[in-house]
Amino acid sequence: MKFRFITNVLGALAVSVASFAMPVGAFAQESFERDIESVVFVPKGQWITGLSVNYSQTNQNTYQFFILEGISGDTYSFKISPMLMFAFKNDMAAGGRFTYSRSLTKLESADITLDAETGYNIENLYSLSHNYSVSGLFRNYFSIGRSKRFGFFNEVQLTLGGGQAKLTQGKGQDLTGAYERNFNLNIGIVPGLCVFLNDYSAIEVNVGVLGFNYTDTKSIKDQIYVSRRNSKSANFKINLFSISFGAAFYL
């Protein structure tokens, strides 16, 4: 009797398990699609070229700015940056950018006044710098809805650069100066907005958001004293001073 009872119980359990048995993969997660509406914004095979030029010049004659008084001098800066990319896939492009910048400062005189009894005077200050860089670029474009005129892009940059600078102060027997050479490495992500004016030209606006920067500088003062400095920085926030505008052509 005990054997028959155990046999009946095991049979009932087998039937229960069989009734709940389901095919393998029944609980497998189904594929999920967000159904984001989009169209091809930049088709495969297009060449993308652009040029950005910045120039500024100032002249001061006994100008006053907070604690600085009697500022007399000239400054100017110039920057040019051509770009060339190729769309190897729909809405994906890769290429490069070259950048050259030059800045010059000639300060004839300036007075720094901290209070009624403390003040400093700066005369005959001259600074000239040249910088250049080469960047590898990768872009991914996204249309806004089904629009083929307005879209976003996300650009990843790898930049290597360098430059030199010369700084002198004084004149005659009191002349002193320094010569510097620098090396720069930057990895960054730059999102932007692209607005097509017609089928082949567009206006681009981008802003640096996050990235890593490394700079190494070697300085020689009065052709005798050698010094070196390096800096590392990481940026994970929007920098309003890094916003730039440019024109691009899609051929």
Q: Is residue 23 part of a domain?
A: no
Q: Is the pLDDT of residue 246 over 60?
A: yes
Q: Is the pLDDT of residue 85 over 80?
A: yes
What confidence tens digit (pLDDT) does each residue in 199-226 have?
A: 888 888 877 767 888 888 888 887 788 8
Q: What is the domain count for the chain? A: 1
Give a yes or no: residue 7 inside a domain: no
Whole-number pLDDT of residue 172: 72
**What digits encode the pLDDT tens for the residues 147-202?**
778 888 888 889 999 998 888 877 777 778 888 888 999 888 888 888 888 888 88
Please indicate, yes or no, if residue 237 is contained in any of the structural domains: yes
- Using one digit for the tens of pLDDT, what is the confidence trace for 12-65? 444 444 444 445 454 455 666 655 666 788 888 889 988 887 778 777 666 666
Mean pLDDT confidence for 75-92? 88
Instruction: Quote the domain boundaries for residue 102.
Output: 37-250
Report if residue 4 sits inside a domain.
no
> Is residue 11 one of the residues assigned to a domain?
no
Q: Please report whether residue 96 resides in a domain.
A: yes
pTM (global) more than 0.75? no
Pairing of strands 176-196, 201-206: antiparallel
Q: What is the CATH number of the domain that holds 43?
A: 2.40.160
What's phi and psi for 16, nearest 5 deg?
A: -65, -45
Q: What integer pLDDT is reported at residue 77 of this predicted model?
A: 87
